[in-house]
Structure 1
Amino acid sequence: MKRKSLVLPVVAGLLAPVLAACGGSDGGSGSGDAIVVGTTDQFTATKESPAPFDPAFAYDTGSWNVLRQSLQTLMHIPRGGGAPVPEAASNCRFSDNQNESYRCELRDGLKFASGAEITSQDVKFSIDRVIDINSEAGAVGLLKNIDTIETPSASEVIFHLKTPDATFPYKLSTPVAGIVDPEAYDGRKLRDGFDVTGSGPYNFKAETDGDRIVKAVFTKNSSYKGDLKLRNDKVELRSYPDAAAMGKALDSGEIDVMARTMSPDQIEDMTAKPTDKIELTEMPGLEIRYLAFDTDEPVVKDKAVRQAVASLVDRGEIASEVYGSTAEPLYSLIPATITAHTNSFFNKYGEPDPAEAKRLLDEAGVQTPVQFTLNYTTDHYGEATAKEFETLKKQLNSSGLFDVDTKGTEWSKFRPAQTRGDYTVYGMGWFPDFPDPDNYIAPFLDENNFLNAPYSNKKVSGELIPQSRSEAERSAAAKSFAQMQDIVAEDVPVLPLWQGKQYVAADDDISGVEWALNPSGELLLWELGTGSAV
């Protein structure tokens, strides 16, 4: 296997644009044959998660990756990263000096799959709908700062914000702000099942087995008007139960590309035993993993308990023994590849120290051993998750200060249970909605946080987050972000563990692989082609 490494530099918290791969401009799959991409993401519609592809409900990387192909947003992150640029819009801008009024003009000729023309009223309907439904499981928090939406003409939409927010253009690039057809979506309730009706680069069709998707088929939308350049006519996304099954499918030629999520063992094996037929591409990643605490639960309500956990966790052991070269220890919610990062947890706790953990618990009068369950999802972040949590269990229990157990649950049940507050301590992963330090802080600490967590800090939510969002020059917000990271290290409502790289393996006649998965974990199927790419 040939190994190809692509390094995308990160500047001021944003991904800097880089040069495209060499080659002609005629690449792409124009023969009618689909490019087939494998994934371990599971797509199910259940009683607890009935609407996996409704932008008012969906809030996981797999579902968002489906929506990115089939719904348009006003803005999008350009190839290689950087500030958002217009997509369904022809232009957008803040129309005031306080970053409180954002104005967009729609492109000419936008149409839904039904053939109906898209107007500013459809944009307003789509975003008002998410706010009105207000799903606890969804990403409505990204839009909660909208005060009113004005539509002075059929092509113009103006967002009036409650408080200044320089990150708002990024939020309009996420699937929660996707434009949906009012004829297909109820303004007050979720759209159950797997149908998606929009104006994105692809038309979407799900092939199912019972309540789960086995194949997601994306066919080029001939009516699409937008900023994206498609390099193929058809892509199939096939779900596999685990990385091993996905790897066998690549070896047999059943799929052309193996994306989320390859196992650490696969990556090490492919690196050590390269072949001429398959290329392994390494890309930077902005994914983080962390533990979260229900700070209202008596067993972890005293922050001394959470601080003791922080004093015992050995991130280096988790990274090296479970994930190998694919992960690095993380000492803040903001990853090291984002400019505002600080090593707040290392600065406060240093290396794992059982004596310090005991001191914290003794001074707080906490009876030991402290008992709780470490909950994790079995099928969402890859098969190594179970080993990671067994390692965490061993680290805590070997101190004699804790008596913890582990429990794994499939994602379709895990996420609703986590949102309801069923878990005292649980593990999650995070790919940013957009590559700005705000998106590693606000989703966890602001009001309407996506974890639906009870932890609240008035200085963070009432002062520091608004202060950071008022800075149009994002590097100027670094001081505010440093303070927030220190507060997280002190209170430990969440405990960062590691950040990861990303890998894609593909048949060597597939082009554009290095662009098809960006550092935020966004799957950009339109970048894939056969032959040369630009």
Structure 2
Amino acid sequence: MNRKTLVLPAVVSLLAPVLAACGGSDGGSGSGDAIVMGTTDRFTVTKDAPAPFDPAYSYDVGTWNILRQTVQTLMIQPKGEGEPVPEAAQSCGFTDTGNERYACKLRSGLKFADGDAVTAEDVKFSIERARTIKADSGVFALLSTIDTIETQGDNEVIFHLKTADATFPFKLSTPVAGIVNPDDYEKDKLRDGFSVDGSGPYTLKAETDGDEMTKAVFTKNPNYKGTLDVNNDQVDMVSYEDADAMGTALEKGDIDLMTRTMSPEQIQKLSDAAATGDIDLVELNGLEIRYLAFDTTDPAVKAKAVRQAMAQVVNRSALVSEVYGSQAEPLYSLVPATLTGHSNSFFNTYGDPSVAKAKSLLADADVTAPVKLTLNYTTDHYGPATKQEFEVLQKQLNDSGLFDVTIKGSPWDTFVPAERKGEYAVYGMGWFPDFPDADNFVAPFLDKDNFLKSPYSNTDIIDNLIPASRREADRLSAAKSLTEIQDIVARDVPVLPLWQGKQYVAANNDVTGTAYVLNSSATLQLWELGRGVSN
């Protein structure tokens, strides 16, 4: 983590007033003691996604930022880094030598926000509900190693697993394992709309404009019983049209802090400013990755040689330098370089970018160049630099003479349904890990029921290598299986990793706790925020 104190006037010209927040800006100093946070995440209810905040459906960093504040889990990721620790549970652990029986004892006095007691049956109901509904987001796959769930009395839950899974404690820390009240959630149906009811540190009130949530009001839950120290009574999250509008709100004092997503130019301006002033910028090493995904059955990219040629042409270093500068690093695997089990498989396979080698790959497979492709990206989910990133990718591929690439951007609420329906041959995605383990950078993309709905299937990965890696409680010992997985991905190219990035929080200097407001999976921990002297 790198923390810098920065001067606000230096960014005034950058953060010029543009579009106002869709929900207005009646926050900041005008909201009493509430801490007000800006975000560019957009939360909408649509025909294709009518239940964005249901734990059995939600599977993106924005909606998980809502659920982590409101829905309690048995385990939780710690304040810094490390193994998950008990939260709703008093204790959890494997009770057999084969790591296939995992038992949790609940804390005494657990209550939902409405005062109802939380029982072991509620935990069982919540997790079995997600497994039963099998939402098209694919989040239920995080629970795929569960065979059966048993309760003993009101306070003990026992998970019997199909196979050993050393990552299972991490999975119990994710929102899909969040505990919900059977009185509020149907067993076999998603809960539509923006309502969330749980036993977490906050309750949620959603302010809306039509089918869009403009502000999330998090109020401290008086019935919360858990391990977290809640350092504030209320946090308001206001959604903005874009990074400039959010930055302007910070400059004007309408919000106290901002995070997802700032533009590279904003971050650079903040970073270059003087070492004293009114704004703090917190830089954290992130596990966010960006990549291209392929529908390997689409005629445009069905030939493996086309995907391999793209991997051979794309210049990650130039892409990162031109668009993100020091805020990102080239990535040569799905697994970030900072995680145990990482291997530079794409570099080992393709080396430096080479048009000549790419031309040979296509010629050997009798693929006629130029190959015509459309690269699809989302315009409003991964930050304002996404369009520029795809313009650079387009130029790199077209300049090779081997491709005829066009690019097309769509808003997130239409991009995701189209991707899940298989409408894109090639599309850009980002990944914020569910938990900080290499397994979570391979299984969600390559296992059965993968969240991309990818038709790519490798039986060795699914049947042998992923299970083998999960059997290793010592994650260093899983490196062999994980490396083999990464080498296969580099060879077959069902996805093409591009870069990994850092995370940033900018805040007024009377806001404390900003160094811990994002966990190692880049999701929010609003309970860490308070008021005082932050530096």
- TM above 0.5: yes
Is 1:350 the counterpart of 2:348? The answer is: no
CA contact (8 A) 2:138 2:450 kept: no
Residue 20 of structure 2 corresponds to: none
Structure 2 residue identity aligned to 1:64: W
Match of 2:218 in 1: 218
Name the counterpart of 2:376. 375
Q: What residue number does 2:341 align with?
A: 340
Determine the structure 2 residue equivalent to 1:152.
152
Q: Secondary structure at the match of 1:395?
A: helix
Who is 2:474 aligned against? 473
> Which residue in 2 is equivalent to 1:406?
407
Q: Give the secondary structure class of the aligned counterpart of 1:298.
A: coil
Query: Aligned-pair RMSD on alpha carbons?
Result: 1.5
* Per-residue deviation, 1:533: 7.5
SS of equivalent residue, structure 1 residue 495: strand
Identical residues among aligned pairs (%): 63
Contact 1:376–1:385, Cα closer than 8 Å, also in 2: yes
Instruction: Look up the match of 1:437.
Output: 438
**1:442-461 alignment runs, 5 A limit:** 442-461=443-462
> CA-to-partner distance for each residue in 1:158-191, whole Å, 9 max, x for gaps?
0111111010000000001000111111111110
Query: What is aligned with 1:143?
Result: 143
1:484 is the counterpart of 2:485 = yes
Contact 2:340 2:437 in 1 (8 A): no
1:114 CA drift (Å) = 2.1
Q: Who is 2:190 aligned against?
A: 190
**Structure 1 counterpart of 2:267:** 267
5+ unaligned residues in a row in structure 1: which ranges?
6-28
Deviation of 1:413 after TM superposition, in Å, equals 1.1
What do residues 231-264 of structure 1 show as CA deviations (whole Å, max 9, x unaligned)? 1110000111111111000000000001111110
Does residue 1:280 correspond to 2:281, yes or no? Answer: yes
**Contact residue 36 and residue 256 of structure 1 kept, 8 A:** yes
Q: 1:129 and 1:306 mapped to 2: Cα distance?
A: 38
Q: How does 1:3-152 map to 2 (within 5 A)?
A: 4=4, 33-152=33-152
Secondary structure of the structure 2 residue equivalent to 1:56 = coil
The separation in 1 between residues aligned to 2:287 and 2:157, in whole angstroms, is 32
Distance 1:178 1:240 in 2: 28
* Letter in structure 1 aligned against 2:201: P
Q: Deviations over 1:373-404 (max 9, x none)?
A: 10110000001000101111111111111111
Give the aligned partner of residue 24 of structure 2: none
SS of equivalent to 1:299: coil
- Give the counterpart letter for 1:521 in structure 2: A
Shift of 1:519: 3.1
Superposed CA offset, 1:68-98 (max 9, x none): 0000000001111111110000000101111
Q: State the distance in 2 between where 1:55 and 1:451 align.
A: 18
> Which residue of the partner structure matches residue 178 of structure 2?
178
- In 1, the alpha carbon distance for the partners of 2:300 and 2:414 equals 24
Aligned-partner Cα distance in 1 for 2:146–2:420: 23
Residue pair 1:56, 1:138 contacting (<8 A) in 2 also: no
Task: With the length of structure 1 as denominator, give the TM-score of the two structures.
Answer: 0.94
CA contact (8 A) 1:137 1:416 kept: no
Amino acid at match of 1:310: A
The 3-state SS of whatever aligns with 1:321 is: helix
3-state SS of paired residue (1:136): coil
Aligned to 1:235: 235
1:427 aligns with 428
- Cα deviation, residue 138, structure 1: 3.8
- Per the alignment, residue 498 of structure 1 pairs with 499
CA deviation map 1:417-444 (0-9, x unaligned): 1111111100000011000000001001
Cα deviation digits, residues 118-168 of structure 1 (max 9, x gap): 111100110111011101214110012111100121111101111110100
Cα distance in 2, alignment partners of residues 185 and 518 from structure 1: 28
Go from structure 1 to structure 2 and tell me whether the alpha carbon gap of 1:3 and 1:433 turns closer, same or farther (over 3 Å shift): closer
- 2:235 & 2:159 partners in 1: Cα distance? 35
Aligned twin of 1:330: 331
TM-score by length of 2: 0.93
Alignment partner, residue 11 of structure 1 = none
Report the AA paired with residue 472 of structure 1.
A
Amino acid at match of 1:346: F
For 2:207, what is the secondary structure of its paired residue?
A: strand
Residues 252-285 of structure 1: per-residue CA shift (max 9 Å, x gap):
0000001111110001111223350011111110
Note the C-alpha offset of 1:3.
5.4
Aligned length: 509
What's 2:303 paired with? Answer: 302
Question: What code does the residue aligned with 1:278 have?
Answer: I
Q: Distance in 2 between matches of 1:277 and 1:506?
A: 8
CA distance in 2, matches of 1:287, 1:480: 22
Whole-Å separation in 1 of the counterparts to 2:75 and 2:139? 17
Unaligned runs of 5+ in 2: 6-28
Q: For 1:493 and 1:422, how far apart are their aligned partners in 2?
A: 16
The offset of 1:339, in angstroms, is: 2.2
The whole-number CA distance in structure 2 between the counterparts of 1:532 and 1:173 is: 31
Q: CA deviation at 1:32?
A: 5.8
Q: 1:532 Cα deviation (Å)?
A: 5.4
Check conservation: 2:509, 2:534, Cα contact below 8 A: no
Distance in 1 separating the partners of 2:300 and 2:532: 58
Deviation string, structure 1 residues 100-133 (Cα, Å, up to 9, x no partner): 1110001111111221111111001101110111
SS in 1 for 2:360: helix
Name the structure 2 match of 1:361.
Answer: 362
Query: For 1:415 and 1:200, how far apart are their aligned partners in 2?
Result: 28
